[in-house]
Amino acid sequence: MRLSSGYKFAGPESPGGLSGLWNAHKKIFLICGSIIAILVIALAVALGVGLRNSSHTASVTPNLNYSVANATQFSGWNPEAGTTWQIVLLSALNDTSADVDVYDIDLFTNSASTISTLQGLGRKVICYFSAGSYEDFRPDSSDFQKTDYGKGLDGWQGEWWLNTNSSNVRSIMIKRLDLAVTKGCDGVDPDNIDGYDNDTGLDLTEDTAIEYLTFLASEAHSRNLAIGLKNGGNIVNQTLDMMQWQINEQCEEYNECGLYTPFIAANKPVFHIEYPSSAPAVSASTKSSICDNPAIAGFSTVIKKMNLDAWIETC
């Protein structure tokens, strides 16, 4: 072959010629090329592992991009202790006859027109969603990752405890808050924040619950949505300043109503539910034992069936 300069390589039989030198260089090039290729592959593998690890870490790293000040400073709807209420979660609301101040209804199954109708009747609307459990029947269930949830909730088919430290979970909750704004909700009822008190298979503690609620309160308040604490008796004092109300289930049955009285002292409602086994056939003595209990003085108490349909008995 010829180089562009006109020099001619000696034949392969001349090891001392340019051909021999070229062959030697080719060997060096091949060796160096192999080494570089190995290094490139090793670097790619290392980067791949790093990216996978980064992705996994990102899925469980708390989203700290929120304002703690927003969590405790809210000039929107702040109901007072004694505010009356109704809660219907079994299905979309089709009965607005309960003469109460507030309706707590499901975020997903109710339309904006239903919420607008209630508000036109002079009622405030709290929109319920589970902030601490994955429900496989929700329209956004495909947004969750398998690593986002742990063990199933005892007695609740199709529901698993969520890793509330997951940034993916928090992104989904932000979308739910945006949906609440779109539908016109006055506030939100984020359920199942007390994973720390259950066998979740996840590393959830009271501290992680408080931090998660700080995140939720900040994001809700920044959207002019009020927010309440659901159950969570052990963290009442740490979250009281962030919450506009407390929703409690069965504190009389479990003899823990005293945990929630700081809300009453702060003139914030304790929306309280008891589920007598005889409901909807509630005797006068059963109603009296629930409603006349001094432990719930100032509470907004309703008697409901466990399925939370439209049936209600008020104190």
The full set of domains in the chain, from first to last, is: 1-60 (no CATH), 68-314 (3.20.20.70)
201, 162 contact by CB (below 8 A): no
Instruction: Say how many C-beta atoms besides its own lie within 10 A of residue 132's C-beta.
Output: 27
Structure confidence at residue 68 (pLDDT): 84
Average pLDDT of the chain is 85
Q: How many H-runs (helices) and E-runs (strands) does the chain carry?
A: 8, 12
Sign of the torsion formed by the C-alpha atoms of 273, 227, 116 and 141: negative
Residues of the chain with pLDDT under 50: 1-61
47 vs 58: CA distance, rounded Å:
16
Helix, strand, coil % over all residues of the chain, rounded to 5: 40, 15, 40
16 vs 99: CA distance, rounded Å:
106
Structure confidence at residue 12 (pLDDT): 33
* Joined tokens for residue 62: 């708390």
Phi-psi region of 164 (alpha: psi -120 to 50; beta: other; left: phi over 0): alpha
User: CA distances (Å), 181 to each of 121, 125, 137, 154, 214, in order?
Assistant: 19, 11, 22, 32, 19
169 vs 165: CA distance, rounded Å:
8
Sign of the torsion formed by the C-alpha atoms of 97, 98, 103 and 108: negative
**What ranges in 89-196 are assigned the alpha helix state H?**
112-120, 167-183
User: Which H or E element spans position 128?
Assistant: strand 124-130
260 vs 232: CA distance, rounded Å:
9
**In terms of DSSP bridges, do strands 270-274 and 313-314 run parallel, antiparallel, or are they unpaired?**
unpaired
Whose CA is closest to 109, among 130, 83, 133, 132? 130
* Relative orientation angle of helices 167-183 and 18-60, to the nearest 10 degrees: 50
Which residues neighbour 161 within 8 Å (Cβ) at sequence distance 6 or greater? 132, 133, 134, 149, 150, 151, 152, 153, 192, 195, 198, 200, 201, 202, 204
Whose CA is closest to 272, among 259, 283, 257, 285? 257
Structure confidence at residue 64 (pLDDT): 53
